[in-house]
Chain A
Amino acid sequence: MDLSIFLQLLISGILLGGIYAMSSIGLTLIFGVMKIVNFAHGEFLMLAMYFSFFLHHLFKLDPYVSIIIVAPALFIIGIILYKTIIRYTIGKPILTQIFVTLGISIVIENLALLFFSGDFKAVTLDYLQVPFFLGPFDSIGIGEIIINPGRLIAFITGLLISGAFYLFLKFSYTGKIIRATAQDRTTALLMGINIDRVYMLTFAIGLLLVGIAGCLMIPIFTVHPFVGFEFVLIMFVVVVLGGLGSIVGAVAAGLFIGVVEVFSSFIIGPDSKQAIYFIIFIILLIIRPSGLFGIKGEEELERIEAID
């Protein structure tokens, strides 16, 4: 492989991976704290993309600006869903958690089909249409490298928000409470932490993060009612590879999966690229199920008790 092609693929892969990382953080957070695999996470991404699309379509609002409306909207949806449904699945058998979140995803997906129709919708922004070029660097034999501006914006914003969120978890009081609850629910409870509130906040923040991701993605990807399922499969691979519950792991695994996807669609063809990362996923489960950054033994979950 030519060096410039290699670099081109690597950069495209990293940009794509940043987007995957960004959209997976909420999922891994919700799992890490609440021990719930949110199968509806892709549908929330889809909702965010639709919100952003319609704000642009109806009010000519720039998708990047629409974050200030879409992210709080998703946060509120998170609180409502937690209060009405999710709260009652905590500590329940895994079957209940899986199929309640799957039930939510089926409802949202088909509501979208009913109201928004099955058509593919996209936002095209004029100022993103001109790609810019790196190079050429003739001295080291590398030609021009094309960079898609929309992906670059999504990548940079995604990384900044991931970083900010990491610092929030690490240093803020609320962040410390969330981490304490994730580490040891009972002790946190004994220290007077309101677990129910922490779970609500965690779920809502998870949705807020995916809301931001949706706004960053709508200028790049088309949205349709089934887009959530496509992305949630990638998100699952990313969060398990990174170690369920690990934010740093999700970012690293997101970048890795992005690079793998771009290279495998270049080498094998775009049709089988998905098969590649699912096979990586299965091999991973055989070798190191706790993921790259997970704590060993974490895959063997303890049960946590129901609220009340």
Chain B
Amino acid sequence: MKQLIKNIRNSSHLPFVCFFLAAAVLPLFVENDFYLDGFILIFIWASFSSAWNIIAGFTGMVSLGHNALFGIGAYSSTILLIRYGISPWFGLLIGGTLAAAVGVLIGVICFRLRSHYFALATLAFGEVIFILAMNFADITGGAEGIALPIEPDIWNMSFQGKLPYVYSGLILLMIVTIVSSKIKQSKLGYFLIAFKENEDAARMLGVNTGRARLTAMAISSFLAAVTGSFYAQYIVFIDPSSVCRIQLSIQAALFAIVGGIGTVFGPIVGAVIFVPITIALRAVLGSTMPGLHLIIYGFILIVVLLYMPQGILGAAKNKLFRISNN
């Protein structure tokens, strides 16, 4: 027991153990649905940003098409539920697998290119999915979208009240975080970092960078799609512009970059900062000044990238490191 306490105290994960504990306990004392909604959205967007971070942060290959993977997840589970009565619990796995296959396909096509082309190719791919979702109205409902059934039923992943969503969202975020942290500490994680830092040197040392990146892409795509399925189940209405827009990928990047790109917990820090600000600014300024929060975010993105490229966590770590060295 003493050892365990010591381990926890020494671990840099301590703040995040506290975060998850707080995230598990706090909602019990919150009665207002508006705030619970905030919790759920933090969990969803932190999960999505973490999934993006697995490919973009760990390997340096910037994907601008994760919105499409999110959309594939949302549409797969929804269509399977509405047309074939398949439970979203299976639907999200099927959607995740489909997205992972698509992610691997993108990887096979684009990984031999350097990052500029990868970013442009994933952007184009995301747009193709968006256009398909818009135009295949027979299957996707087109621009009108699809509404999901709302009678509470655990089999249909549809719950009474907000609390069950809070806890499923929290579990989702914990799974994504654990996967991300396991990757980072595993051989795969070291391969990815080796690739990011110096591809030629990594290859010389016998690292199969292609396969490592494909694995990361598959995992990242799977998690992005599962998050998409859960989002669809929570919002109970999806249309191409809410689940396939490029803005989703940019948002994931914003959270990860400001929180600390390439770190396991950076995306969570980003989501905890930005989701409440977004909700508050939208509530206050929504109708009078549309887009004001995006102007602020754009500035923050530029400033962080130029002056604090490692994000909040990176900067904090550097500071702690300096203190412990003194």
Q: Chain A interface (Cβ within 8 Å of chain B)? A: 31, 37, 85, 88-89, 92-96, 98-100, 102-107, 109-111, 113-114, 118, 229, 233, 236-237, 240, 244, 271-272, 274-275, 278-279, 281-282, 285-286, 289, 299-301
Contact = CB atoms under 8 A, between A and B. Distances in A.
Interface string B282-299: 000000011110110111
Given A118-B290, A278-B131, A94 B119 contact: yes
B141 interface: no
A96 B125 CA distance: 22
Given A107-B298, A107-B299, A110-B291, A95 B131 contact: no
A282 B124 contact: yes
Interface residues of B, number: 43
Interface in B106-134: 109-110, 113-117, 119-121, 123-125, 127-128, 131-132, 134
A241 B109 CA distance: 16
B22 interface: no
Contacts of B110: 285
Nearest to A237: B124
Contacts of B261: 95
A114 B250 CA distance: 20
B229 to A, nearest CB: 24
B125 A113 contact: no
16 contacts: A31-B116, A92-B309, A93-B60, A104-B298, A107-B302, A109-B291, A109-B294, A111-B295, A114-B289, A272-B131, A275-B135, A282-B128, A286-B109, A299-B114, A301-B114, A301-B116
B323 interface: no
Contact of A96 (B109, B134, B309): B309
A293 to B, nearest CB: 16
Contacts of B232: none
A94 B115 CA distance: 7
B251 to A, nearest CB: 10
A24 to B, nearest CB: 13
Interface string B198-215: 000000000000000000
B131 A99 contact: no
Contact of A278 (B60, B116, B128, B246): B128
B292 A110 contact: yes
Contact of B301 (A102, A289, A300): A102
A86 to B, nearest CB: 10
A140 B147 CA distance: 56
A285 B107 CA distance: 12
Given A106-B301, A285-B110, A98 B62 contact: yes
B293 to A, nearest CB: 9
A250 to B, nearest CB: 15
Contacts of B306: 85, 88-89, 96, 100
A113 B124 contact: no
A100 B301 contact: yes
A95 B56 contact: yes
Nearest to B249: A102
Contact of B117 (A118, A272, A279, A285): A285
Interface of B: 56, 60, 62, 64, 109-110, 113-117, 119-121, 123-125, 127-128, 131-132, 134-135, 246, 250, 253-254, 257, 261, 289-292, 294-295, 297-299, 301-302, 305-306, 309
B135 A240 contact: no
Contacts of A285: 109-110, 113, 117, 121
Nearest to B300: A103
Contacts of B131: 271-272, 274-275, 278
A289 B292 CA distance: 38
A113 B290 contact: yes
B298 A110 contact: yes
A289 B250 contact: no
Contacts of A274: 127, 131
Contact of B124 (A94, A118, A281): A281
Contacts of B127: 233, 274, 278
B134 A271 contact: yes
A240 B261 CA distance: 28
A274 B135 CA distance: 11
Nearest to A95: B62
Given A99-B257, A274-B127, A300-B114, A94 B291 contact: no
A100 B289 CA distance: 24
Given A106-B301, A111-B295, A279 B116 contact: no
B27 to A, nearest CB: 32
A114 B109 contact: no
A304 to B, nearest CB: 13
B115 A275 contact: no
A159 to B, nearest CB: 26
A99 B301 contact: yes
B197 to A, nearest CB: 11
Contacts of B132: 275
Contacts of A94: 60, 62, 114-116, 119
Contacts of A110: 290-292, 294-295, 298
Given A88-B306, A104-B302, A275-B128, 9 more contacts: A89-B305, A98-B62, A107-B302, A110-B295, A113-B291, A114-B292, A274-B127, A285-B117, A285-B121
A271 B135 contact: yes
A175 to B, nearest CB: 24
B71 to A, nearest CB: 15
Contacts of B250: 99, 102, 106
Contacts of A271: 131, 134-135
Nearest to B290: A113
A286 B110 CA distance: 8
